[in-house]
Structure 1
Amino acid sequence: MSPPSFAHRVHRFRDALAGSPPLWWSLLYFFSLLCGYYVLRPVRDAMGASGNAEAVFPRWLVDWAAGHGYALGDYTLQVLFSGTFLAMVALQPLYGALVARFPRRVFLPVVYLVFIACLVAFHWLFHTGVSGRGAAFFIWVAVFNLFAVTVFWSFMADVFDNEDARKVYGYIGAGGTIGALAGPAITRTLVGTVGVANLLLVSAVFLAVCLLCILKLRPWAIRRERRHGEASGEEAMGGSVLAGLRLILERPLLRALALMLFFGVGVGTLLYNEQAAIVREYFPGAEAATRYYATLDWAVNGLTLVVQLLLTRWLLRRFGVAPALLGPALAILAGYCLLAASPLPLMVAIVQVVLRGGEFSLAKPARETLYTRVDRESRYKAKAAIDTVVYRGGDLAFVWMHKGLAALGSGIVFLTGIGVAAGMTAAAWAVVRAQRELPEDGRAQ
């Protein structure tokens, strides 16, 4: 059975919007969230690719490294990724306590209010020229991205059940992709006129819209829980603040998801580091590097949007999660094989677009539908642990691995990437097998 025509998809999308008020608010929510993030991402990536350590790190850290015989600029990404992992580990118990002790109506707004306050604080720091603000901002944006997005999808699993998720997650993802396209466009347009610091306030406005969407979607989450007889999110969840890590160890599906994400981060991190080396060579200025990353983000999100609108919903409803998980993994494996044979800069950019596009358009929506079929503790605590600690643990492991492999040349990096991509494919197959044992919603757990 072939996918429906484009005109039929447009008609079906219009009917879905007309018949589902929560879909409207979910689209606006994800659009605003990713638009706000992608306004910041090119700024963050340009800092990570900078070869000038004094523009990124505190002066005392640069001097300390120099005193011990190290040029900190040679380890920029490694130090930044290490700092990000430490921040994730430190924040995970705090997030777990927030989720365990407060109801959904409290902890969801609190997460976004804290992020808005941080953006205002960074706006002030960028204007004052405080040493080390670049490293602090890089780490904070990484924390913001993972926590804000994982909270979004956890909340979506409260609003929509499994059947609805297969129908609308592709559309919701497309709304986010449009926001991800708009964000870099805003950055490219405004960075030369308003400056980097004022872009942070633009992002804060989009996060304020997210708060409004949370308030509007709350009644639909309550209705869904009552309809399925699930535990109410209007009450504190309770349990241990570290229960997420325990659940990952206990449950086969969560273990497989954690492994899949770990290896998925690995293939992305190896490629990201090779790309950063190219940017340092061909785009040495901060504004030029920011524009390059904004252009790459635009290409990634353009591909993502096309796949989300034309393919994601049909695949999930017709075949389930298997092709949406295995397809991107096999594409990444093939991409690394091509890079090992021909490690050209243009090929690196192409594979990067395919890698991230496949993740956002197919693998991510497929994984998120699975969380509609587990209990709330797995949905909020285990998912948060996977999306933050496991994710950044993978970043940390592979960014330092890349540092050692890079000395042997790009060919060795990409050969190693083939093995990592094979591990990701095997983990994706384990997820497909484990999810067959789940009920169609979270009631049985």
Structure 2
Amino acid sequence: MLSAVAFFFVMTSYYIVRPVRDQLSGAVGSPSLPLFYGVVFAVMLLFTPAFGLLVARYPRRQLLGWSYSFFILSLLAFAPAFMAQDRIGARQLGVAFFVWVSVFNLFVVSLFWSFMADIFSSLRARKVFSLIALGGMAGAIFGPLITKFLVVWIGVAPLLVVSAVALGLALVILLTISAQHDRQPGSHGDEAVGGSLWAGVRELWTRPFLRYMALLMLFGDGIGTLAYALVADYAKAHIVGNVARTSFYNDLDLYTNLLGALLQLTLTPWLLIRRGAGWGLVLASLVNVALLAGVAWVGGGGVVLFGYGVSVLAVMIVTTRGFAYGMTKPAVDSLYTRVPRETRYKGKNFVETAVWRLGDVLVTSGVNGLHAFGLGVAGLAVVGTGVAAIATVVARRAGWSADLAPETPQQVTKAKHIDE
């Protein structure tokens, strides 16, 4: 419960600054996205050795404290910059803040789940990670709601202070959890992980499981960006007016979060406990294959569901995102409980930060190129179906990778007994 509450505050903090970022990012323009994401990727590479140094030299509580405190102080430092936005310029401030929020989101969330993988066993993770993720889903809903209410009363700059307070509450809870865990027999929380600064990069080439995770990250980014591009084209062609488009995207987020929450409460914990975390990866990939193949077959038109006409593309993006948040993420983080501590922190962090942003650069450039060749909805969906099919094969290998620590028959039997 404490972990779920901590993740609630982490995601609340992020979703408060997300609209602040988005209202400035328009100054960049979509044709500049590949270059823009390239800057983010370069910043991620600079952060990698710094984070590796902290992991190698300092115990878990200090790692959490210093990392989260850095982002809290950064939020507070940006507040006066937003008060002087007219003098600085929306474009300059927007680029700097977009890059910083991209780093903030990935590092803070990745470190949270590295910590969770460090304190929970594989059996316990499969049982509770979907519920902890549900706390984050609640924060993703609460953050925009409190932002919508407060921005009218206090303006944009003070929202960064509110976000810093939320992240500070998350840090206090995480340090409390770490202190409680450190008092348990066999805990290694008071020990530094050790190793080299670049261990995360090195392990990407030496550990098969981490390579599979990197490939899944790239494929998932590709499918997500492709789905976003298809829906954006649909909204531009079929939905008239800013208000209508805003309502459309708001509905997409709402139904995505509802589907993710439903999966986290029902199918995901059952599947992870009864069948193992690997099946959480495989099933979500198969759903992506079916959805993209359907779009390739029928195009981007509408269908009738429960008496209402809805876009096939809207159904696709809600379902792919819902399964990514509600099933894939808990399954991935459960698998990280079966790797060494250095991999949980350094390797996982590298995959979920630098590799993800490399995927942004490659995918946005690739989508622009496919558009230039004149591919429409059906053609892009065919490409996405092929990517999803390859991702299914990689997901099958990742879930049963030979370098994962084995689970004993007693653990498997106990997991099924808990579920029953």
TM-score range relative to shorter protein? 0.7 to 0.9
* One-letter amino acid matched to 2:110: T
Q: For the structure 1 residues 122 and 374, does the alpha-carbon distance in structure 2 shift closer, same or farther, using more than 3 Å as the test?
A: same
Query: Distance in 1 between the 2:213 and 2:289 partners?
Result: 18
1:105 equivalent in alignment to 2:61: yes
* One-letter amino acid matched to 2:384: G
1:333 equivalent in alignment to 2:289: yes
Match for 1:172 among 132, 138, 152?
Answer: 132
Matches within 5 A, 1:402-441: 402-407=367-372, 408-411=374-377, 412-434=379-401, 438-440=405-407
SS of alignment partner, residue 133 of structure 1 = helix
* One-letter amino acid matched to 1:399: T
* One-letter amino acid matched to 2:400: R
Q: For the structure 1 residues 437 and 386, does the alpha-carbon distance in structure 2 shift closer, same or farther, using more than 3 Å as the test?
A: closer
Q: Partner of 1:308 in structure 2?
A: 264
Q: Partner of 1:67 in structure 2?
A: none
1:350 equivalent in alignment to 2:315: yes
Q: Partner of 1:210 in structure 2?
A: 170
* One-letter amino acid matched to 1:26: S
Match for 1:375 among 337, 340, 351?
Answer: 340
SS of alignment partner, residue 440 of structure 1 = coil
Q: Partner of 2:274 in structure 1?
A: 318
Match for 1:124 among 67, 77, 80?
Answer: 80
Q: Give, in angstroms, the shift of residue 244 of structure 1.
A: 1.0
Query: Distance in 2 between the 1:44 and 1:172 partners?
Result: 26
* One-letter amino acid matched to 1:309: L
Q: Partner of 2:305 in structure 1?
A: none
Q: Give, in angstroms, the shift of residue 288 of structure 1.
A: 8.0
Per-residue CA distance 1:155-176 (angstroms, 9 max, x = gap): 1112211121122112111111
Comparing 118-127 and 256-265, the one that deviates more: 118-127
Query: Distance in 2 between the 1:280 and 1:117 partners?
Result: 39
Q: Partner of 1:18 in structure 2?
A: none
Query: Distance in 1 between the 2:119 and 2:164 partners?
Result: 25
Query: Distance in 2 between the 1:277 and 1:93 partners?
Result: 39
| TM-score, reference length from structure 1 | 0.81
SS of alignment partner, residue 405 of structure 2 = coil
Q: For the structure 1 residues 220 and 161, does the alpha-carbon distance in structure 2 shift closer, same or farther, using more than 3 Å as the test?
A: farther
* One-letter amino acid matched to 1:215: L
Q: Give, in angstroms, the shift of residue 373 of structure 1.
A: 1.4
Query: Distance in 2 between the 1:278 and 1:121 partners?
Result: 39
Q: For the structure 1 residues 295 and 206, does the alpha-carbon distance in structure 2 shift closer, same or farther, using more than 3 Å as the test?
A: farther
Q: For the structure 1 residues 431 and 289, does the alpha-carbon distance in structure 2 shift closer, same or farther, using more than 3 Å as the test?
A: same
Query: Distance in 1 between the 2:247 and 2:143 partners?
Result: 12
Query: Distance in 2 between the 1:212 and 1:278 partners?
Result: 44
Q: Give, in angstroms, the shift of residue 191 of structure 1.
A: 4.0
Q: Give, in angstroms, the shift of residue 185 of structure 1.
A: 2.1
Q: For the structure 1 residues 296 and 417, does the alpha-carbon distance in structure 2 shift closer, same or farther, using more than 3 Å as the test?
A: same
Match for 2:223 among 243, 249, 267?
Answer: 267
- Kindly, what percent of the aligned residue pairs are identical? 41
Aligned residues: 392
Q: Give, in angstroms, the shift of residue 151 of structure 1.
A: 0.4
For the 8 Å contact 1:31–1:175, the answer to whether it is kept is yes
CA RMSD of aligned residues (A): 2.4
Q: Partner of 2:306 in structure 1?
A: none
Query: Distance in 1 between the 2:250 and 2:79 partners?
Result: 20
1:252 equivalent in alignment to 2:222: no
Q: Partner of 1:219 in structure 2?
A: 179
Q: Give, in angstroms, the shift of residue 323 of structure 1.
A: 2.6
Q: Partner of 1:150 in structure 2?
A: 110
Q: For the structure 1 residues 157 and 325, does the alpha-carbon distance in structure 2 shift closer, same or farther, using more than 3 Å as the test?
A: same
* One-letter amino acid matched to 1:433: W
Q: Give, in angstroms, the shift of residue 279 of structure 1.
A: 5.9
1:114 equivalent in alignment to 2:81: no
For the 8 Å contact 1:46–1:289, the answer to whether it is kept is no
| TM-score, reference length from structure 2 | 0.86
- Return 5+ residue gaps in structure 2 as ranges: 303-310, 409-420
Query: Distance in 1 between the 2:215 and 2:207 partners?
Result: 12
Q: For the structure 1 residues 384 and 171, does the alpha-carbon distance in structure 2 shift closer, same or farther, using more than 3 Å as the test?
A: same
Q: Give, in angstroms, the shift of residue 283 of structure 1.
A: 7.7
For the 8 Å contact 1:34–1:180, the answer to whether it is kept is yes
1:392 equivalent in alignment to 2:369: no
- Return 5+ residue gaps in structure 1 as ranges: 1-23, 57-72
Q: For the structure 1 residues 425 and 46, does the alpha-carbon distance in structure 2 shift closer, same or farther, using more than 3 Å as the test?
A: farther
Q: Give, in angstroms, the shift of residue 349 of structure 1.
A: 2.7
Query: Distance in 2 between the 1:177 and 1:42 partners?
Result: 17
Per-residue CA distance 1:118-166 (angstroms, 9 max, x = gap): 2122222222112211122222222111111110011111221112112
Q: Partner of 2:3 in structure 1?
A: 26
Query: Distance in 2 between the 1:368 and 1:237 partners?
Result: 19
Q: Partner of 1:17 in structure 2?
A: none
Q: Partner of 1:237 in structure 2?
A: 193
Query: Distance in 1 between the 2:345 and 2:38 partners?
Result: 25
* One-letter amino acid matched to 1:310: T
Query: Distance in 1 between the 2:16 and 2:251 partners?
Result: 12
* One-letter amino acid matched to 2:69: L
Query: Distance in 1 between the 2:110 and 2:36 partners?
Result: 21
Query: Distance in 1 between the 2:402 and 2:179 partners?
Result: 29
Query: Distance in 2 between the 1:415 and 1:196 partners?
Result: 42
Match for 1:362 among 323, 327, 330?
Answer: 327
